Structure 1
């Protein structure tokens, strides 16, 4: 009997346990609802506002994420309001420096989120006025980077009541807003009037264009609010008005590098020895912002060079001719840089069908000896192969040699083929190559419509990767073919080359010159080998 009772109890326990396992777990669907404001004190859109504290109660516990970058107060309040969280409430401490008869908009962006799931209360705003009315006018538009039309997020757009252009350099704006992920902006609660419209991308958050590395955009004319127009602004790095040296370093014994903040005119550049005379030479890099100072007289232990531009002193270079320098673990010997040679061959290496063979050097080459240079084509010497030094740059040489398909080429440069400024000669250099087959290239036929080539001076740029100009063609006809493109994915860009200097030019804020316009093709171009593409491009 006892055994039977025990069996019944054991069976009952198992039954209860099995029933318990079937109970649905506690909980439910994930909370995806953003916080909701239940109460404002003072109320939202308050007029004749004179409070020093605002309390906003939400329906759940909240927190602030990235408030420094997300919260925008317009017009600016100095000192800044302070924000803190207390349970389900957001508390704003307002300083007593508010302007009379002014509507303020505190835009929290995406900073207000709930504690548990970080659901965002998007573009949450608190608006109030120190006067008897709430200003309700607004403007909107888009901000892009001028050189490639990419949307610019987290940049500041500003309105200035003062129509003096220079006020932007030293005074905060009347109204501000911030761009979103798509570069779109909207400034709300503006009073009627005429304004200057600007935008900047800055790091110091003082809302003034006061540093040369800041990007700027400006609208050509003042605007009148109210206005239903959508404004299109283009950010650019303005041409520096003052030439400065931003970097200087010793590259090797007998070689110093100076980097300027902009391209310079070598005719305006003066390098002079101070106290002790010494001979040296200078070479400007292809971009115009880098200067190479070279010397080969090492009899002086050290000397100083003064650098001036357009008659104004910039800096001085203290040059050391020490043959060895101390470093961690001992000393390092210094020598003049050895000759290094690069070619413009494609990967492989393979010779391009559409380019002449060219060589570039790290040092200026003073003499080139073709007797020490040879070219074999399938083991047959080509006696007429010649290299010629560039007439403009001592750092380049080229050949007009034509190459053929299915031929194996060997270039040999014996010692003494090149002699540089320092008197150094090259070691033996050998390049093995062949002509890249035509079938490995693709081409693009571009047909432009709705464009006036008499008015618009267009450059077509084939862009590789993020922003590398792989090929550039001047548009002379509405139907343009770009041949010998390596198989790859490219993007296409048109530049309105207003001054016809063959490059895209940035703007100049001081002289109120906008950057040259660019237009991107709407989709990437997948160029395949041995394939001709046709692209119809309507310019809007």
Structure 2
């Protein structure tokens, strides 16, 4: 009987477990979205007379560091070798800062972790946690705030460093090139807004830069820069706005290299206008010609009939006067090739060009022939636009087919090589395939101006200089696409946008953007008012 009772009892227990198992699958509860909570800091937050070599921040759960190098901002800046922050590869209930070097006396330090401290499981960030302490008797509490814009483009950039340099007896403008600032902040991914906290009273230079190398110094060739023209005095309640721009790089020479069998390349930085490169001690039988490749910032010196093993150059640009010697080396032979500027379609607003791989010596129009769809010759003019480019000028008729024949001898290059027969076929489209944009400009601050159309990625499509007020600005024969419009105040009337320069305290020429993205459709006239403000 007792055995039977035990059997029944165990059967009931097993049945109970089965029923419990069938009640449903556990959901795990709501997802944890709460950030970690700081329990305590050792030493405490806002500690004064700081002399410690280790800081520990204790949290209520396991945390880890995410993108610390990108998010961490230390002000005043510390050399990366001067501190170690751990743990970075595993989770822990604390974050530790070890200080490996001495700190400045009577200075307030701010470790802004951005959003790098996250919980170990869900990755919820502790947003913009700051650990602040002072090596002096008080914590500095002044603040500088403002926004960052873009002097040329439409969108503000993120992760922009904002810097303060103390203006004292040691200050010079060149400090931004060779040492970190006294105070530092970063917009991180907030795009436009900055705050520099825990600053002491005084006079400062305020600048911002897109610090590509993250070395807290300004590199003119790589970094964008913005600045407030006058020094600022703290305390101050003003909000500051700065627009980033890329300076025109100061001219300097790069390396000389053998670019081809009869071609030497001279790299440079900056604006090459006025650059003179004079080969020295060449016999009369040796000829040279020069051409620029502005995409690679290179001046090419082409030569023929040279039997020497080196070439010496006298190089001049503005105040620069140097001599360079280049040892001739073996390289690939440059041969003449021709490539057209279009493929298949010549738009009604385009110009037909041909590009050559070697410099052009002469062109023979009699060896060129342009025919329409009925094989009727089309009158045209041809000219050499630069050492590598031929321009064809003719009345472009809509909805037509053309054929351009470039016969042997039409183009002779610097090495007396002639082109092979080249035949190019292309067509034009109907006026109804294009759209037009009529712009009414309101509130233009001054003239002359430049009105430009760009694509959605801000690549230039059309540029129209305007010297005086007009009733409307017209862009016709536009391909059906979406466009942005911008307006440049051309202060020096040189037909292009000019950047600024920090050392001269010169701001870039002002650029205004028409906010909407305009949808230009085929066979359509789009009327738009551009209010400049």
Q: Secondary structure at the match of 2:69?
A: helix
Deviation at 1:22, TM superposition (A): 1.2
> Is the contact made by 2:334 and 2:358 (CA closer than 8 Å) also made in structure 1?
no
Q: State the Cα distance separating 1:283 from its structure 2 match.
A: 2.2
**What's the counterpart of residue 51 of structure 1?**
52
C-alpha separation between the residues in 2 aligned to 1:398 and 1:169?
45
Change (3 A) 1:479 1:421: same
Q: Retained in 2: the 8 A contact 1:339–1:424? A: no
* Secondary structure, aligned partner of 1:169: helix
| Structure 2 residues not aligned, in runs of 5+ | 1-5
Match of 1:219 in 2: 228
* Equivalent position SS for 1:44: coil
| Counterpart Cα distance in 2 of 1:138 and 1:274 | 64
Distance, in Å, in 2 between the alignment partners of 1:100 and 1:484 is 67
Residue 25 of structure 1: how far off its partner (Å): 2.0
For structure 1, which segment, 398-407 or 530-539, has the greater mean C-alpha deviation from structure 2 after superposition?
Answer: 398-407
Take 1:488 and 1:259, find their aligned partners in 2: how far apart are those partners? 38
**Are 1:199 and 2:218 counterparts?**
no
Residue 3 of structure 2 is matched in structure 1 by none
The normalised TM-score by structure 2 is 0.88
1:522 to 506, 515, 519: 515
2:122 & 2:489 partners in 1: Cα distance? 49
Instruction: State the Cα distance separating 1:315 from its structure 2 match.
Output: 4.2
Write out aligned runs for 1:253-272 (5 A): 253-266=261-274, 268-272=275-279
What secondary structure sits across from 2:176 in the alignment?
helix
Tell me how large the CA RMSD over aligned residues is.
3.0
| TM-fit CA distance, 1:369 | 1.8
Q: Which residue of 2 aligns with 1:531?
A: 524
1:336 counterpart = 2:329: no
Choose from 161, 167, 184 the match for 2:166.
161
Within 5 Å, give how 1:26-41 maps onto structure 2: 27-41=28-42
More divergent stretch after superposition (474-483 vs 203-212): 203-212
1:386 aligns with 2:387: no
Deviates more, 1:521-530 or 1:87-96: 87-96
| Residues 226 and 373 of structure 1, relative CA distance in 2, 3 Å threshold | same
Q: Distance in 2 between matches of 1:275 and 1:440?
A: 57
1:45 match: secondary structure? coil
Aligned counterparts of 1:357 and 1:533: Cα–Cα separation in 2: 28
Aligned to 1:110: 115
Q: Secondary structure at the match of 1:83?
A: strand
Query: Is 1:293 the counterpart of 2:293 in the alignment?
Result: no
Partner of 1:173: 181
Q: Which ranges in structure 1 are unaligned for 5 or more consecutive residues?
A: 326-333
User: Do residues 147 (structure 1) and 152 (structure 2) align?
Assistant: yes
Contact 1:45 1:128 in 2 (8 A): yes
1:470 aligns with 2:464: no
Q: Distance in 1 between matches of 2:61 and 2:369?
A: 81
How far the C-alpha of 1:417 sits from its partner, in A, is 1.4
Alignment of 1:97 onto 2:102: yes
Q: 1:218 to 1:303 in 2, by over 3 A?
A: same
Deviations 1:59-103 (A, max 9, x none): 101111222222111123466333224831122224563333332
Distance 1:74 1:174 in 2: 7
The CA distance in 1 between the partners of 2:383 and 2:220, in whole Å, is 42
Q: Supply the distance in 1 between the matched residues of 2:314 and 2:7 (Cα, whole angstroms).
A: 104
**1:309 matches 2:304:** no
The alignment status of 1:133 with 2:127, answered yes or no, reads no
Q: Contact 1:159–1:175 at 8 Å: present in 2 too?
A: yes
Q: Secondary structure at the match of 1:409?
A: strand
Equivalent residue in structure 1 for 2:451, among 457, 460, 467: 460
Q: Report if the CA contact (8 A) 1:442-1:487 is conserved.
A: yes
Q: CA deviation at 1:158?
A: 0.5
- CA shift for structure 1 position 286: 6.1
Structure 2 match to 1:187: 196
- How far, CA to CA, are the matches of 1:445 and 1:369 in structure 2? 42
Question: Which of residues 386, 395, 400 in structure 2 aligns to 1:402?
Answer: 395
